């Protein structure tokens, strides 16, 4: 994708530091305390996401617009009245912004400079960031075409199936131009990029069509796309650009799947180093929930679209006889949750991360998601086992998509 440079964008890099105040007491209005994300689209098409910390005391709210690597930008004349938020700020030129509150508690509106150039601004409330990355235009591309992002850090293969795979932690590139991340975990998931490619190839063999595939080619010490941008990129502009492309490609793939199939499945492919050598399927559900007998929490479930569409209880979807865990278990790959291992017990377990929450149907949309964590021995290595697993996993996915979504992907 193109590099993101423009008048407003360059101006962002020249900012100073400040704090802003809202003179309305907390509680009388709905400006949530915490880190907001301001998504700013400039007149010439550039999009930036800037964290905005909002806090409150007895006098009112205060906040800091945190521009990565450059510090904080003052926000002036901020007022919140009747659901309308207004303020001005100077990332370079002075911009006046007016935003209206929306039903989902975000704000959206425009910012304009003195010359009348205006761009969109959206403020996303604290919590999970809804899909906002700029989507890549995949209109003219055909299934099988490959798009590379800036510096070839991110790779997107256009698919034809109602299935999206991503590989966030299998990258090998360690460019000197990007310093190692100092915040967040930097050890990659070995062989997971290779595994993701093998699963895609096996799906092509089984169905004659491929999935959409998004791969981060940067090593995790440089970028962790399965985190919010701050921890993901540690403020490095090149890593942030790759992060935006990575999630933008997934957005594009989701849109393509929705347009073609109406609904579908997104799988984030990982490798774990936990003691129990099972496949860990993360649906957003906590270990403690899975271990108990009580109803599983739909508010954290990353497959809400499927649950709503089929009225199937969540417990049956995640560990019933037709669950992904059951299908893998039947093929000899121990999995959790599954009929045999309904919960992780006291064992370590990954229940899903940033990407599966952001791009699944937890909040909205019709694309469900699962974070799939693979053990090393017998699955990721040696290579012969990796190939065998990829083939089985592809066959299991075809069966799963047919049983739960009604997609007939193989001619009979
Ligand atoms: Zn991982």
Query: Measured between alpha carbons, how far is 212 from 162 in angstroms, rounded to an integer?
Result: 8
More confident site: 102 or 305:
305
CA 121 from chain centre, in angstroms, equals 21
Q: What is the pLDDT of residue 41?
A: 76
Ligand 1 centroid distance, CA of 330 (Å): 25
Please tell me the distance between residue 224's alpha carbon and the centre of ligand 1 in angstroms: 9
What's the mean pLDDT in 317-339? 98
**d(CA 86, ligand 1 centre) in Å:** 41
Q: What percent of the chain is modeled with pLDDT above 70? A: 85
Q: What CATH number was assigned to the domain covering residues 146-405?
A: 3.40.630.40
* Chain centre to alpha carbon of residue 385: 29
pLDDT band at 139 (very low <50, low <70, confident <90, very high): low
Q: Is the pLDDT at 402 greater than 60, yes or no?
A: yes
Domain boundaries, given as residue ranges, for the chain? 7-124, 146-405
Question: Taking the model in full, what pTM does it have?
Answer: 0.70
Separation of CA 168 and ligand 1 centre (Å)? 7
Q: How far apart are CA 257 and CA 262, in angstroms?
A: 7
Average pLDDT over residues 212-225: 98
If you measure from the C-alpha of residue 297 to the centroid of ligand 1, how many angstroms do you get, rounded to a whole number? 24
Phi, psi of 177 (to 5 degrees): -70, -15
Decide if 194 contacts 386 (C-beta within 8 A). yes
How much is the average pLDDT of 213-237? 95
CATH dotted code for 7-124: 2.40.128.120
**CA 163–ligand 1 middle distance (angstroms):** 19
Instruction: Determine the distance separating the centroid of ligand 1 and the alpha carbon of 351, expressed in angstroms.
Output: 12
Written in H, E and C, the secondary structure of 311-371 is: CCCHHHHHHCCCCHHHHHHHCCCCEECCCCCCCCCCCCCCCCCHHHHHHCCCCCCCEEEEE
Query: Does residue 127 or residue 55 have the better pLDDT?
Result: 55
What is the per-residue pLDDT for 104? Answer: 67
CB 268 within 8 A of CB 371: yes
Report helix, strand or coil for 138. Answer: coil
Cα 82 to chain centroid, rounded: 33
CA dihedral for 85, 86, 87, 93, sign (positive or negative): positive
With beta carbons less than 8 A apart as the criterion, state whether 89 and 75 touch. yes
Res 128 pLDDT > 80: no
Distance (Å) from CA 145 to ligand 1 centroid = 26
pLDDT one-digit tens code per residue, 262-271: 999 999 999 9
Q: Is the pLDDT of residue 130 over 50?
A: no
Average pLDDT, the chain: 85
| 58-75 pLDDT, tens digit each | 666 677 787 765 678 888
CA of 159 to the centre of ligand 1 (A): 23
Q: What is the pLDDT at residue 391?
A: 98
Mean pLDDT for 328-346 is 97
Residue 282 C-alpha to ligand 1 middle, in angstroms? 12
Beta partners for residue 88, in sequence order: 76, 96
In the three-class reduction of DSSP (H, G, I as helix; E, B as strand; rest coil), residue 99 is classed as strand
In DSSP terms, 374 is beta-bridged to 271
Tell me the CA–centroid distance for residue 273 and ligand 1, in Å. Answer: 10
Residue 180 CA to ligand 1 centre (angstroms): 17
Q: How far is the CA of 210 from the centre of ligand 1 (A)?
A: 23
Specify the higher pLDDT residue, 2 or 144: 144
């Amino acid at each position: 994708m193109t590099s993101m440079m423009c008048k407003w964008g360059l101006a962002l890099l020249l900012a100073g530091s400040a704090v802003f105040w809202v003179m309305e007491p907390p509680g009388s209005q709905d400006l949530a305390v915490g880190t907001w994300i301001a998504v700013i689209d400039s007149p010439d098409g550039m999009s930036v996401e800037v964290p905005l910390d909002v806090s409150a005391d007895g006098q009112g709210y205060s906040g800091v617009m945190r521009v990565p690597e450059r510090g904080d930008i003052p926000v002036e004349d901020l007022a919140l009245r009747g659901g309308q938020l207004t303020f001005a700020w100077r990332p370079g030129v002075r911009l006046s912004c007016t935003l209206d509150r929306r039903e989902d508690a975000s704000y959206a509106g425009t910012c304009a400079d003195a010359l009348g150039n205006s761009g969109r601004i959206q403020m996303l409330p604290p919590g999970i960031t809804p899909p906002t990355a700029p989507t890549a235009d995949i209109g003219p591309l055909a299934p099988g075409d490959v798009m590379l992002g800036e510096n070839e850090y991110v790779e997107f293969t256009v698919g034809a199936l109602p299935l999206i795979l991503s590989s966030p932690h299998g990258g090998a590139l360690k460019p000197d131009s990007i310093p190692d991340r100092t915040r967040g975990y930097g050890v990659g998931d070995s062989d997971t990029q290779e595994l993701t490619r093998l699963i895609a190839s096996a799906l092509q063999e089984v169905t004659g069509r491929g999935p959409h595939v998004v791969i981060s080619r940067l090593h995790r010490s440089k970028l962790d796309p399965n985190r919010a941008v701050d921890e993901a990129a540690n403020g490095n502009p090149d890593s942030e650009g790759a992060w935006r492309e990575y999630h933008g490609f997934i957005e594009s793939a989701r849109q393509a799947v929705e347009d073609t199939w109406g609904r579908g499945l997104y799988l984030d492919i990982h490798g774990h180093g936990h003691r129990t050598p099972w496949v860990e399927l993360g649906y957003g559900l906590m270990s403690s929930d899975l271990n108990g007998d009580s109803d599983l929490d739909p508010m954290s479930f990353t497959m809400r679209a499927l649950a709503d569409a089929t009225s199937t209880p969540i417990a049956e979807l995640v560990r019933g006889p037709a669950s992904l865990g059951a299908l893998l278990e039947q093929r000899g790959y121990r999995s959790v949750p599954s009929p045999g291992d309904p919960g992780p017990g006291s064992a370590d377990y990954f229940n899903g991360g940033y990407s599966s929450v952001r791009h699944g149907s937890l909040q909205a949309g019709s694309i469900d998601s699962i974070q799939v964590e693979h053990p090393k021995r017998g699955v990721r290595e040696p290579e012969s086992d990796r190939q065998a697993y990829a083939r089985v996993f592809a066959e299991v996915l075809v069966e799963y998509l047919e049983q739960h979504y009604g997609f007939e992907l193989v001619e009979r």
